[in-house]
Amino acid sequence: REKIYVLDNGKSLMLALSQDMSQNRPAEAREHVRRFHELFFTLSPDKSAIEHNINRALILADKSAYNYYSDFTEKGYYNRVIAGNINQVAQVDSVVCDFNQYPYIAKTYARQLIIRQSNVTERTLVTVCKLLNSSRSDDNPNGFTIEGFTILENKDIRTVKR
């Protein structure tokens, strides 16, 4: 009957309704992608904080995200963030997922704020990836893996003096 009854110290009887796990899957997919972007693109001028967040983000994705990380590292991006005392904040505006095919396709629209001592630069960030179902864990509570992560657009919108 898909009904669960809960006893409270053997006294009161409550009905707990079960829910199909697949009903919440679209929300979990959007949250998985949102969390990845927050971890991967939000940076502080602290090497250990950058490494910690990047490592947490890379657990949620395949080698395609690691390739971006390696490229940014080779070009000295993270060292410039630290040396310049720059904070970078990613704000995800929306995640659009197509669940009509598998693996699911997710397109993310976000903004980046690059906060320097002298100014704040606002940038667009548009990415696309595929989502594969994977096992759930403490490190990956939504049970997805990002595959084929690609940055489609990342350009300046405006710069404001502080």
Q: Which domains are seen in the chain, by residue range? A: 24-161 (3.10.450.230)
Query: Which two three-digit tokens encode residue 85?
Result: 């005392």
Taking residue 65's Cβ as centre, other Cβ atoms within 10 Å add up to 23
Taking residue 41's Cβ as centre, other Cβ atoms within 10 Å add up to 23
Q: What is the mean pLDDT of residues 49-67?
A: 97
Q: What is the mean pLDDT of residues 12-41?
A: 81
pLDDT at 92: 97
For residue 108, CA distances in Å to 9, 36, 92 come to 48, 11, 7
CA pair distance 3, 15, nearest whole angstrom: 7
Q: What is the mean pLDDT of residues 151-161?
A: 97
pLDDT at 107: 98
* pTM score: 0.86
Query: Which two three-digit tokens encode residue 34?
Result: 């949102």
